[in-house]
Amino acid sequence: MLREGRGTCSAKHAYLAREIERDFPQLSPQIVHRVYRVERAAAEDLYGAEVARHVPEGGLIDVHRYLTVEIDGDRITIDATFPGPPWDGRSALPLACGPGDDFLAGSDPDADKRQLQAEHCDPALREPFIEALGRSSGS
């Protein structure tokens, strides 16, 4: 991920959580998974036309990973999936997904995410979208 300058939300936030826990444990990083619906129009806005064409007309369900950290007693969201403006170190960062249901990750976030994908996602719809997202310059 670091060598190629790209990666998935899962890899980026697992790495970021480890780094924050090591260097700033007082921030209490917590990995969160959001189960949400990807709509074609939103996918085009966020990821571009090439990725959006892999979203079915009726949309699809995906699971997105992000972090929360505690700053001055407030728990804020941190989403480092895509590049954006410099972070001010205090404000929440917007999520790179739509609204949905959030699930706190346990001691094995990857297993937790796989379980949520198995429960909520249709692999025949999701996998082409994820492959296209991985090929895009925005991942």
Nearest to 11 by CA among 120, 139, 115: 139
pLDDT tops 90 at residue 113: yes
Using alpha carbons, list the distances in angstroms from residue 61 to 21, 28, 71, 123: 30, 29, 31, 10
Position 139 scores a pLDDT of 44
What confidence tens digit (pLDDT) does each residue in 19-72 have?
999 999 999 999 999 999 999 999 998 889 999 999 999 999 999 999 999 999
Arithmetic mean of pLDDT, 105-117: 97
- Of 13-22, 67-76, 82-91, 119-128, least confident by mean pLDDT is 82-91
Arithmetic mean of pLDDT, 84-110: 93
- Of 48-62, 78-92, 103-117, least confident by mean pLDDT is 78-92
8 A C-beta contact, residue 52 and residue 39: no
- Of 4-8, 40-44, 55-59, 132-136, least confident by mean pLDDT is 4-8
Three-class secondary structure of residue 74 per DSSP: strand
Position 2 scores a pLDDT of 61
